[in-house]
A = this chain, B = another copy of it.
Amino acid sequence: MKRLEHKITFEPTGRQVYALPGTILLEAAAQAGLIVQTPCGGQGQCGKCRVKIVSGQASACPPTANCRSAMSAAEVEQGYRLACQARVQGDLVVEVPVSSLFESQQQILVHASGAPVELSPVISKHFVELAAPSQADARSDVERLRAAIQPVDFDPVGVRMLRLLPGVLRRQGFRGTAVIVDGDLIDFETGDTTDKCYGVAVDIGTTTLVGTLVHLKTGLDLGVEARINPQTSYGDDVVSRIRKCREEAKGLAQLQRVIIGAVNDIVDELVRAAGIDRTHIYEIAMAGNTTMQQILCGIDPSALGELPFVPAFTDVPQLNASDLGLDINPYGKVFIFPQIGGFVGGDTVAGIIASRLDCENETVIFVDIGTNGEIVLAHQGQLIATSVAAGPAFEGARISCGMRAVNGAIEKVVMNGDLAINVIGNTRPAGLCGSGLIDAVAELLRLGLLDPTGRLRTPAEIPAGAPPTLRKRLIKQNGHVDFLLAHKTETVSGESLILTQRDIRELQLASGAIRAGISILLEMQALRSADLKRVLLAGAFGNFIRRNHARRIGLLPPIPCDRIRFIGNASSLGAKRALLSKAEKLSAAKIARTVRHVDLSLAPEFQAAFSAAMLFPENDPGLSVEVG
């Protein structure tokens, strides 16, 4: 049974999402990739999460008592609401002030005015109208141009531009736009093209690729595109990709070719949708795990497939777009994130940048959920990082009716009386994405349809109070029980959507691996879950997972939900920050040098922790009242 959703548009980015009635604005914003800050843990007390309703019926988002106590009557009248309290009851246009965003987003987003906020990309464009040479001023072409754009400099000058410059300057009457990328003069364009200055940030996941087109003059996102990593057809996980490189002479070249092709597909679509010229994309920043990054660069990952899992590099390699065959400006740059170790790669470094964990003084854990789960613990100013093989369940793969979090995916499941689902794009359901999977399993656990070992109970075994409508969805066959999510009359394909016992086992493996990783890092620092001031949850696994549900299935440790914060696709966000700021590139290199790498394949206690974490908790370990 599907409930009608409301369309929520966020300004100034213009991003739109669909949300079930009753969804708090905070969650709807997070679906749109806007992470609103909640220092009080979403208790409606601090007033930091205020947003403004700028369009919509009066009844579409009524103020709550907390809204009225945290803000003045005039503010409430003007449309201000606390995002952690106010709920969606109709279509809305919501303005999110930059001051209400999570701090890692603040710096790279913009005021509604469009004024840039602390942007310092390595790319700069300079429109110049140079005086033509004369006997009194016979400076060289390079000197003439250099003087016009100082204090920005380019040095040394590559021979390619030296060959172009004398002709292009004279043909264009010494007038045009110089393009400088990290001290390198790469082009001199006709006319004033200073506003046409773009970059692309790409999260290179083992299963999913996400590209974001960024306007480097404003920091605004101009589009987001995702694709399945086409390497998945050669194996789900990094181990199978490494094996292909080790065993087949052309394995590496083949894997590199398909991933570059997919990134180029993403760029094609971003360029098309935004209506820009691809030669105006001057930099592409890419973050992925060590294996993904090495394959992307054409670096043999074989040594990552055997003890002691040695990466080729840890610092920032130097690449041009043409080195990789990327379809942006051919003299544009490629920023590949530095790597921490064999299994803790550039995506983790990007995540640390996005979450600003490198400046963290409290005890905080960062969990990036993907096919590999990356976990970083900040404690007493030190960072330790590890990764675990979670498998692609959170991204919808290896799940019988699994799919990515795109249109048609069930992304939310609520079981009150009967089953209620939220489908991305407000369509008939086509499959189940990661957040929907977690919801479904958490609700089945809560209602006793699933036992803590992960076995779906038969109708005869379930508690007496379980709603009959849900009981009827249990399908017993071949000695085990599956769960009917959507009847064939309700789906896009006309086939039923079924959550199988096997799907639940996949989720147990994925969740258990991540939880075991968290437990080991805490043990290494002699910490308990309660010592964690915050859990920062990142991932491209779905728009939004429910914190209480993530905790219910044991994915996250038993701490109050108000300590759990979503920071979205941290890898993409970190890549975008690197695009927008040279300082972030330097801090990435520093992070890669200073974070301590823990190889869990060497930790005998990991297997024990993993086995223990495979079991679901008996009861919800949460103590506080949940929102959402």
Q: What is the interface of chain A, defined by CB distance below 8 A to chain B?
A: 133-135, 137-143, 155-159, 162-163, 165-167, 170, 297-300, 302-303, 307-319, 323-324, 339, 341-342, 597, 599, 602
Contact = CB atoms under 8 A, between A and B. Distances in A.
A141 to B, nearest CB: 5
Contacts of A141: 303, 310-313
A156 B316 contact: yes
A496 to B, nearest CB: 48
Contacts of A143: 313-315
Given A157-B318, A158-B317, A308 B134 contact: yes
Nearest to A342: B138
Contact of A162 (B138, B299, B599): B299
A595 to B, nearest CB: 13
A341 B318 CA distance: 33
Given A134-B308, A140-B339, A313 B163 contact: no
Nearest to A304: B166
A166 B319 CA distance: 18
Contacts of A602: 135
A133 B308 contact: yes
Given A163-B300, A303-B170, A156 B315 contact: yes
Contact of A313 (B135, B157, B309): B157
5 contacts: A133-B308, A135-B599, A157-B315, A163-B299, A165-B312
A315 B166 contact: no
Nearest to A320: B159
A309 B311 CA distance: 53
A159 B163 CA distance: 25
A141 B317 CA distance: 13
Contacts of A341: 138, 140
Contacts of A311: 140-141
Contacts of A323: 159
B318 A159 contact: yes
Most buried by B among A158, A166, A298, A597: A166
A341 B139 CA distance: 7
A305 to B, nearest CB: 11
Contacts of A297: 159, 162-163
A140 B317 contact: no
A317 B162 contact: yes
A141 B157 CA distance: 31
A84 to B, nearest CB: 43
Contacts of A315: 142-143, 155-157
Contacts of A142: 312-315
Contacts of A302: 166
- In the A-B complex, list the 9 residue pairs whose CB atoms are closest, starting with the nearest: A156-B318, A138-B308, A142-B313, A140-B311, A140-B314, A133-B310, A135-B308, A159-B319, A166-B312
